[in-house]
Amino acid sequence: MENILLGFANAFKFVNLVAAFLSVAVGIVIGSLPGLSAAMGVALLIPITFGMPAETALIALAGVYCGAMYGGSISAILLHTPGTSSAAATAIDGYQMTLKGQAGKALATATIASFIGGILSSVALYTLSPPLASLALKFGPAEYFWLSIFGLTIIAGVSAKSMLKGLISGALGLVLSTIGMDPMLGIPRFTFGNNGLLQGLPFTATLIGLFSMSQVLLLAEKKIKDLKGSREVKDKVYLSKDEIKRITPVSLWSAIIGIVVGILPGAGGTIASFIGYNEAKRFTKDKEAFGTGIIEGVAGPEAANNAVTGGSLIPTLTLGIPGNSVTAILLGGLVIQGLRPGPDLFTIHGKTTYTFFAGFVIVNILMLILGLFAVRLFAKVSKVSDAVLIPIIFALSVIGSYAISNNMLDVWVMFIFGIVGYFVKKFNLNSAAIVLALILGPIGETGLRRTLIMHKGNYMALFGSTISWVLIGISVLSLMTPVIMSIIEKKKSKAN
Amino acid sequence: MKRVVLLLLSLALLLSVVGCAGDSGDQIDTSNYPSKPVEIIVAYKAGGGTDVGARILASEAEKNFGQPLVIINREGSDGELGYTELAQSKPDGYTIGFINLPTFVSLTLERDTKYAIDDVVPILNHVYDAGVLVVQASSEIETLEDFIEYAKANPGDLTISNNGTGASNHIGAAHFEYEAGIEVTHVPFGGSTDMLAALRGGHVDATVAKISEVAALVNSGELRILASFTEERLENFPDVPTMKEKGFDILFGSARALVAPKGTPQEIIDYIHDKFKEAIDSPEHMEKAKNADLPIMYMSPEELAEYIKNEEIYLKEISTFLDLSN
């Protein structure tokens, strides 16, 4: 408890408040611009946070994450173009409200629901992380091996559209993860004599390439278009007491769904928001009104996708297993700051961790304030031309990857992965799966090899503990999820 | 309204540019040294043990140095990247750096490094972190004798985690194994945090670690030290026997020293040495070092040169009879 209060005291330091405010604003801008994702924003921000104190850096990263998750709803509501894929469900009723001249009301709903989702997920962050973290010491090499296998099965879930392409992406990531020093024997692999690669691929530079530079290439090849379809916000950004009462139960329920989906690796904001939308529909008496522009249809998905933020941080912070590409990048930022996921986060690094948690709460409050009072400004931002965006992102990508370690090698790696990322998107492969495999590959490899060294090559040691069996069980379950989901969907569509 | 985006993004741009502003030196001029900020290269991550030590000392030395001291973290390849950059820096006194011993020496013996040991000249030693053999406090192994007895009865069964194949703790553990005539299994981990987590979680039987890494855990009753790899007993743990007392003549620990690129003018070396020596002796520094579990041990440039030379001889010698491939 003392730590929690101390965390708030630290988070209210001026520099942390400024970081939270700016990062939420930047996050909302990034989120509201169609084509720019939360993952991209966080990847670009990491080099900037490098020189900051750990807690300020983490608060800034959380700010961009939450802001972008919310910002996606602005263009979804006004342009019918979700700024991020997780706002796709919001576009259904949100845009209908805009057509009815209720854009302000829709934006207010999105803001308040996002806030409810974010705040509830921060409660989960506070209550669920410490017990899970103390369990982390129980994870030995064998358990980490299975944990990485579980993570890898998620690729099947991430790539629900085409499992084959997901698996190709995952395999590519695994191959890339073998670059660098052999973690057990210290022998260089695939470094081609370049000592800069002994540590493996420079992670952040690789991510900036995959997520940001590739987007520059994709945007640049299209004809620059002006978004003319945008509507003005004519009414007030305001909800009456009755309307708040209407969306509160929907938002609370969707938030819980969002938290659970967030904790489960692989299923991110997009899945959460669609489940949230369906649940809102189930919850509301007037089901016919859905799709015609009602506030419940906006509140459901928005509460769910913002609840994912806190939920997805839980496995990232405690076990070092990120569930989606944003937290994968965040994990990189965490490690740069010298924080290792696990029990020490709540003991030795308790001050930093609890400051970060408090910052997460503050970020959500600032998001509410910015959303209610400055949303008209952000609405205009969402119409910025690609002609302005492309050079800015290009410059930020180059400077950002250089700034990580003042090393040109990182910049070349970023460019190479920009091109890789471009083709990844062209071939409908999955960047998130590549990143997951890149992180999980070494965890699995060292886990397996350590287990074998410790038990004189006896493979049965991999099946020695309860945790191992639990992980094997959920891995099998995770593999089956896409199959089960498609059966359920077929049944549903038949029933309809 | 494009202006708003531009403003926000260029703000971010500005921040990142400020973060990587560097400067290039002019002619070596010793008369008005220091006339600009001095960069200190740390070859390990920000927040790691080496970094914390460097920052504590630098913040103290800065008070009377006359110019800011800027820590630059250049991690990678077990420190080789940072060491190489340090060795290749202009010897004008505006770039100095910390080295870790024995790593700085052992890397040159293990692989084809881009730097050589005598590419740098010693300024002074700051920290000496002694090696210790630790087990969980709940372990049945109470003493060093228990450990050896168990290992002899069950060859290869006892597992010792270390911070990487060929890394300092591995060398210490393997040397002890050789001297004691036992057979254990060495399990390499990515760094000292993971190596200790494996011991704390009960996944390995013992660990060879540095005293600063385990002092807090020993005091809290979680771990027990069986023996220290030191000449004399540890000041804060007077009940712990040394390896030497038990008949194994193994001294091992890690030192962190301040060095400059070869060719740096002697006047400048002396200036830096004096300012940093003053900082080491200051009560503020000693207080901070104690809080961070940093065992301070000053060595003069001559002592440090001698120490580096002995490390090289020792490492070459043990490599003739120790097999560190596992």
pTM attached to this predicted model: 0.74
Q: Which amino acid is at A454?
A: M
In the prediction, which pLDDT does B19 show?
43
Distance CA A172, CA B133 (A): 41
Task: With beta carbons under 8 A apart, name residues in chain B contacting A406.
Answer: 20, 22, 72
Contact flag B159-A141 (C-beta cutoff 8 Å): no
Confidence of residue A491 (pLDDT cuts 50, 70, 90): confident
Q: How many domains does chain A have?
A: 1
Task: With beta carbons under 8 A apart, name residues in chain B contacting A54.
Answer: 47
Would an 8 Å CB–CB cutoff place A196 in contact with chain B?
A: yes
Dihedrals phi, psi of B113, to nearest 5 degrees: -75, 160
Testing the interface with A: which of B20, B113, B200 to mutate, by most A Cβ within 10 A?
B20
The SS3 assignment for B149 reads: helix
Residue A79 near residue A380 (C-beta atoms within 8 A): no
Which of A195, A340, A380 is the closest to B77 by Cβ?
Answer: A195
Q: Which CATH superfamily is domain B130-228 in?
A: Periplasmic binding protein-like II (3.40.190.10)
Give residue-wise pLDDT tens across range A202-221. 887 888 888 888 888 988 88
Residue A339 near residue B47 (C-beta atoms within 8 A): yes
Give residue-wise pLDDT tens across range B283-324. 989 988 887 778 899 999 999 999 999 999 988 888 777 776
Contacts with B, A 41-80, CB within 8 Å: 44-45, 47-48, 50-51, 54
- How confident is the model over A219-224, as a mean pLDDT? 78
Exposed / middle / buried, residue A221 (Cβ in 10 Å: 0-12, 13-18, 19+): exposed
In the prediction, which pLDDT does B167 show?
78
Dihedrals phi, psi of A134, to nearest 5 degrees: -70, -20
Task: With beta carbons under 8 A apart, name residues in chain A contacting B45.
Answer: 336, 338
CATH tag, B33-128+253-319: 3.40.190.150
pLDDT exceeds 90 at position B235: no
- What number of H helices and E strands is found in chain B? 11, 10
In the prediction, which pLDDT does A494 show?
72
pLDDT exceeds 60 at position B13: no
Contact flag A381-B326 (C-beta cutoff 8 Å): no
3-state SS track over chain A = CHHHHHHHHHHCCHHHHHHHHHHHHHHHHHHHCCCCCHHHHHHHHHHHHCCCCHHHHHHHHHHHHHHHHHHHHHHHHHHCCCCCHHHHHHHHHHHHHHHCCCHHHHHHHHHHHHHHHHHHHHHHHHHHHHHHHHHHHHCCHHHHHHHHHHHHHHHHHHCCCCHHHHHHHHHHHHHHHCCEECCCCCCEECCCCCHHHCCCCCHHHHHHHHHHHHHHHHHHHCCCCCCCCCCCCCCCCCCCHHHHHHHHHHHHHHHHHHHHHHHCCCCCHHHHHHHHHHHHHHHCCCHHHCCCCCHHHHHHHHHHHHHHHHHHHHHHHHHCCCCCHHHHHHHHHHHHCCCCCCHHHHCCCHHHHHHHHHHHHHHHHHHHHHHHHHHHHHHHHCCCCHHHHHHHHHHHHHHHHHHHHCCHHHHHHHHHHHHHHHHHHHCCCCHHHHHHHHHHHHHHHHHHHHHHHHCCCCHHHHHCCHHHHHHHHHHHHHHHHHHHHHHHHHHHHHHC
The SS3 assignment for B108 reads: helix
Give residue-wise pLDDT tens across range B135-178. 999 999 999 999 999 999 999 999 999 888 877 888 899 999 99
Residue B43 near residue B83 (C-beta atoms within 8 A): yes
Exposed / middle / buried, residue B73 (Cβ in 10 Å: 0-12, 13-18, 19+): buried
Which of A185, A195, A456 is the closest to B81 by Cβ?
Answer: A195
Testing the interface with B: which of A24, A58, A195 to mutate, by most B Cβ within 10 A?
A195
Confidence of residue B47 (pLDDT cuts 50, 70, 90): low
In the prediction, which pLDDT does B22 show?
40
Give residue-wise pLDDT tens across range A141-191. 999 899 889 878 877 666 556 778 888 999 999 999 999 888 887 788 998
- How confident is the model over A36-60, as a mean pLDDT? 83
Residue B67 near residue B275 (C-beta atoms within 8 A): no
Distance CA B28, CA B268 (A): 10
Contacts with B, A 218-277, CB within 8 Å: none
pLDDT exceeds 70 at position B12: no
Domain hosting A255: range is: 2-495
Contact flag B74-A453 (C-beta cutoff 8 Å): no
More confident position, A51 or B257? B257
Distance CA A277, CA A254 (A): 8
In the prediction, which pLDDT does A303 show?
95
Q: Which amino acid is at B219?
A: N
Which of A26, A50, A384 is the closest to B2 by Cβ?
Answer: A384
* Interface A-B: count of C-beta contacts within 8 A: 132
In the prediction, which pLDDT does B132 show?
95
Distance CA B117, CA A251 (A): 64
More confident position, A492 or B306? B306
> A263-266 long-range CB contacts below 8 Å, 24 or more apart?
A263/A124, A263/A128, A263/A311, A263/A312, A263/A314, A263/A315, A263/A323, A264/A323, A265/A150, A265/A151, A265/A154, A265/A157, A265/A315, A265/A321, A265/A322, A265/A323, A265/A324, A266/A154, A266/A155, A266/A157, A266/A158, A266/A323, A266/A324, A266/A478
Measure A303 CA to nearest chain B CA, in Å.
Answer: 26
Lowest-confidence range among A45-59, A312-326, A477-491, B102-116? A477-491
> What number is the ipTM of this complex?
0.71
Kindly report the number of other CB atoms within 10 A of residue A396's CB atom.
Answer: 25
End-to-end CA distance of chain A: 51
CA atoms within 13 A on the CB side of A435: 32
Q: What are B306's two structure tokens?
A: 């001698």
Among chain A residues, CA nearest to B5: A381
Give residues with Cβ within 8 angstroms of A1, minimum separation 6.
none
Closest CA to B126 of B105, B99, B96: B99
Distance CA B209, CA B212 (A): 8
Would an 8 Å CB–CB cutoff place A492 in contact with chain B?
A: no
Question: From its phi and psi, is residue A268 left (phi > 0), alpha (psi between -120 and 50) or beta?
Answer: beta
Among chain B residues, CA nearest to A140: B203
Give residue-wise pLDDT tens across range A391-403. 888 888 888 788 7
**For chain B, domain boundaries:** 33-128+253-319, 130-228
Among chain B residues, CA nearest to A443: B190
Would an 8 Å CB–CB cutoff place A338 in contact with chain B?
A: yes
